[in-house]
Structure 1
């Protein structure tokens, strides 16, 4: 290999290879690489490449692939290891598809290895249609799960990425969908650093995420894809992010057409590139040449972006001999494999939350059932298995399918849709919206137990433009169960038969009436291709539910601030001023767990020390079933100089125990865990008293009453003087 062609030499250090390749490119060739469907540069053996790909809960939009539960469902597992395994399986399927596409010279959209996943925005308001894509409302949990997913997707090879992850949407982005192209999310420095940025910080500093995507909206007046504060000062300045930055699709166009902070395409392109937006999902960067001619943008700045983009492609092995990249050996048969289908089922099991189990009705004994009624608009629906940004499964198991699969031929399964998800008025032909009630009630009367499948679907919530007839542009305008579902439930309840309500949704809905009328309430989210089997596993005792709510279920819209208000006051479990219906961190089990012997390695430390505090606790399965408990550790600052959260989650551990088995579990806390964010957005460790809570739920009285279990508490004292910490 000659010195002149060292970018092709895989033994040369990465930075040198990138420098060498970019030095050989013309300005036009460089600019062609900064649009998502990058052009080929044949004279340099640069293949055409489309950067746009998705894998929110499985390889999406690229044909058949394993469809795992929607992201919000996976978050309910509170299980970092599980999300890592799911992401690793997705990356295998991604490579399998990519390898085959390369053999067929298919360089089209959704065929690459750069995935615009995960969505680590904070789910601050249940009306947001894209909340289903997130890991919930808590910054700590979102950060832990985001890092796990990123590491699983990118792999741990010392030289190559299995796939490239992208943390999105940076930042302060969670609706309204209908206003996202011109909306200015106004947020104070404290909320910005305390709530909206921590998961991104974790993704960059710990997860080593390869890419970050900017949001559509402005943040405090600056477009998120041309923001000095977000992109230069924080992302690259404070966090030393060295990956590439990509715009959300059409976001650069918004800068001049809708935000109107620039007057032309070339000015918008220059503003974005100058702040470090390397890749345009859109076509505005075609105006970069004009920007250069006008002196708005320099070739040197363009070089920085092109180097970051090509560096990612080098790390994916796109310029190396095929035999040197181990992931090129992943065969097409890995995609949609039996093993991944089993993982999808296990993931769904770990995502389903038991919110109510009156008189311990569940698990049902299949041998004692002569007949079961499965009722409701979501019982035989494939869309409610899927969620948005999904692939296509080779086989879907609906909820009624799962019930059939679980029962033998001697048990009769009656099915009735009852109603649809929308209709509340008679049709043009006179069909009544409750026309299916009689059949539903008849099936209930003939059955030992009723499984009623209610909720919403991706057809009613999602991204702007993806939801037909949505007044909210994809958002929900309210959180009530739509259509005639409550009326259907009321009619079925009149039969007096025990009711198991299974809710499928991607965001909290109002479940007061369901909670009143049903003996059992299961939150199933959009549970993926194996959703029906997973729900049946829970109902009939094949699996003991362990999931917890990653987001608060409020009682009504009255508990919600204005949707456009990005202040965290009275939002999420950390700042809510009233009891919700179902709190964050809540979920029931068929067994019971006892906590004891809470011990600290030290009950005080000084602000000028680097002391780690070890927290040990014993947990025993005191029930009759094998089960998994999600142990939650919360801290409360009793003497903060500024308003702080009621308490904040700072540790999660998942432990599986046989009946009567006991284990000791250990957490490690650092001084950073005790720090607060002040009004200037600085992380400060202050002296004072802290309370530490440890148990299977939040420490509030309401959560403890719902679970029937107490949370252990102890105190830790911080001494010394105020110390500012690195954010």
Structure 2
């Protein structure tokens, strides 16, 4: 579960799901696995196979009177099982009944339990990044549960720009934009956790949960292993401006909007302090500022990394335990808490009350999950709910939604079966199976490889030609031969976990050289048009071999599309599905990696070092493909309707105005540089203003299709260090050919028009802002919004 790999050299915003369910046995996770992404549930299964084993019998929940009887106990003797009490009272009673030794046994991910009071052991660690994974101590695949539905990797789901996503090292992230990542996080977490009818509660710590999900890795986590610099020793030196604007925002949205019940801290240091020992990041920000209702967990073995890797403060193990407990870390995924906390208390460096606080946070979440009382509503789920047709179809649809059409010369796609009857399928991913599902994977229900899918459509010849690294030069010959006699050639190429993965950062942005040579040779040999299908998570500089190569007629980016990936690709190629995905990352040119080291954390350009900006928000140079890029088989036009012209914010008599930093030579006309009140602190302002507008989207082509409307805001001209533009809203809509629809947007003016100043204040600047509708020129429309203060 360790950190992510920054596959290309720009900043990645990381969000994952560390699933904590109400149980930890096989059947439970089977039920969960088939529902992840639709009706995700962390629920007790049928009573015939309970999750809690006690003296040879299995029970669905802790406070079952029969279970206590098996232990020679009476459930009525234990207040923590009294349903008439609040969760707070029950948890207080539970924690108060434990000795120090017993308390320490519960604050690592493999909690020992306490049989004398009927408390069973519990495994906290299971994973469900894009379908239930076998990674972790609590998930099992075997004879009872052989498989689970496998969805596309997160980067592909993010490419759908669909606000109802299915899953969250670059393939494990939702892309480069903090707003998109935050939306993904909040909706994903809500889908996992929310019990219908209990989405809001007066006391959030009593709100029931289907599954406890976790946003990770917090924070400023961008290096896995790059030229000998690894995540176990890296110190991310990040300005507070970048922390607020980029590295923390997705987590803030995950907590505030998603009400996530857990956050995981990362291995790295942030400005000198290990993330898991930083009270500002944990207690102050997560709990006090954002009001986290849940627990904070370390990445696995983070305390050992802090002690032996960072050697922070030259600490002993006991001092490391003291630092993290005082910072607010509740659960150690590892063994430092279980091995050294008692001695830390004996040495006087840890208060026992710190342990009590951690346990209260942990057991409150388990109460909310039904671990103690059960959730009868979900007890019918079992083996026959695994790998159903509906779930497999959903995985295929998720893959279709995320596929991005990058090139389509002469409208070669959708491919005509009548005209192109004989296909050549070549390339290292032609028969991809495991490569399609990425990492943090489980055993899938089945695989549909590209070869499987296209073979079912008609006459094909195939040859892999080579593997991803493509060292098999002699193998190229047959691939060229079949391409020379086919009506059309589809090349399945790209990279894989051999190139980009956990503990494996990329050194460049190119397809491996020998594979590029293979693609070029096959393209030259092909009799008919060539379609290139790319498997990757990070961007690839394919400018010369494909984008600018006239013999390559079409390019599709499929990411790592999950177990149904071949089926989804065939559906797009043959036009049964019109691609509507958009790139959630910028595809930089290969020379970009030579301009700045991966260890550089600033997002903004550093002119004196010659460093360019990172992400679409701050990079103003040429790209291979921009963030938000994606074509369709049809055409969409925009017409603006009912747009606002101004926002006037009434200031409190004691309102504190903040100065802005302006670029050199900015004129006074440029956004009121000389105004008495240049900006206001959003946190201190009554921001109840909305920007409401409509855009009519018309499908003027011949194909039905999905279209993603992306809305950006651009700040007033002349403000130094401001972003070029930022995503503030997006909507995915379906339109039949010839149809149009009005899409309404309502945005909080202070959130959508704010910038983060060098001081790290989030401010609303005075002056003329611009709202841009559309991801890239020329298919955009825009209108100005003037902000003034009264």
Q: Confirm or deny a common fold (TM above 0.5).
A: yes
For 1:67-86, list aligned pairs within 5 A.
Answer: 67-81=150-164, 83=165, 86=166
1:147-195 deviations in Å (ceiling 9; x for gaps)? 1110111123434211110000000002133510111000001111011
Secondary structure of the residue aligned to 1:367 is coil
| Residue 714 (structure 1) aligned with residue 746 (structure 2) | no
Distance in 2, matches of 1:633 and 1:416, equals 43
| Residue 164 (structure 1) aligned with residue 207 (structure 2) | no
Note the C-alpha offset of 1:597.
2.8
Report what 2:768 is aligned to.
689
Distance in 2, matches of 1:251 and 1:138, equals 27
Report what 1:30 is aligned to.
103
| Residue 180 (structure 1) aligned with residue 231 (structure 2) | yes
Q: Is the 8 A contact 2:259 2:293 kept in 1?
A: no
- In the alignment, structure 1 segments of 5+ residues that lack a partner are 88-117, 119-129, 425-432, 465-473, 698-702, 722-727
Q: Is the 8 A contact 1:561 1:571 kept in 2?
A: no
Which has the larger displacement, 153-162 or 413-422? 153-162
Distance in 2, matches of 1:343 and 1:463, equals 27
Q: Is the 8 A contact 2:422 2:459 kept in 1?
A: yes
Distance in 2, matches of 1:229 and 1:485, equals 47
| Residue 678 (structure 1) aligned with residue 762 (structure 2) | no
| Residue 443 (structure 1) aligned with residue 469 (structure 2) | no
Residue from 584, 587, 593 that aligns with 2:636:
593
Residue from 494, 503, 506 that aligns with 2:534:
503
Residue from 536, 552, 555 that aligns with 2:589:
555
| Residue 634 (structure 1) aligned with residue 712 (structure 2) | yes
Alpha-carbon distance change, 268 to 184 in structure 1, aligned in 2, over 3 angstroms: same
Distance in 2, matches of 1:181 and 1:272, equals 16
Secondary structure of the residue aligned to 2:585 is coil
- In the alignment, structure 2 segments of 5+ residues that lack a partner are 1-73, 135-139, 142-146, 199-206, 605-612, 652-686
Residue from 275, 283, 286 that aligns with 2:335:
283
User: Scaled by the length of structure 2, what TM-score is found?
Assistant: 0.80
Distance in 2, matches of 1:261 and 1:417, equals 49
Which has the larger displacement, 542-551 or 261-270? 261-270
Q: Is the 8 A contact 1:602 1:614 kept in 2?
A: no
Q: Is the 8 A contact 1:350 1:546 kept in 2?
A: yes
Which has the larger displacement, 671-680 or 647-656? 671-680
Note the C-alpha offset of 1:300.
0.6
1:433-456 deviations in Å (ceiling 9; x for gaps)? 311111011111111000001101
Distance in 1, matches of 2:473 and 2:547, equals 22
Note the C-alpha offset of 1:233.
2.1
Distance in 1, matches of 2:83 and 2:441, equals 35
Report what 2:600 is aligned to.
565
Distance in 2, matches of 1:488 and 1:685, equals 52
Note the C-alpha offset of 1:607.
5.6
Secondary structure of the residue aligned to 1:588 is coil
Report what 1:20 is aligned to.
93
| Residue 51 (structure 1) aligned with residue 99 (structure 2) | no
Distance in 2, matches of 1:658 and 1:370, equals 28
1:323-346 deviations in Å (ceiling 9; x for gaps)? x44233322222222111000000
Report what 2:345 is aligned to.
292
For 1:599-614, list aligned pairs within 5 A.
Answer: 599-606=642-649, 608=651, 610-614=688-692
Distance in 2, matches of 1:235 and 1:687, equals 31
Q: Is the 8 A contact 2:583 2:626 kept in 1?
A: yes
Alpha-carbon distance change, 680 to 232 in structure 1, aligned in 2, over 3 angstroms: farther
| Residue 136 (structure 1) aligned with residue 171 (structure 2) | no
Note the C-alpha offset of 1:483.
5.0
Note the C-alpha offset of 1:599.
2.4
| Residue 417 (structure 1) aligned with residue 464 (structure 2) | yes
Note the C-alpha offset of 1:486.
1.3
Distance in 2, matches of 1:147 and 1:167, equals 10
CA root-mean-square deviation: 1.6
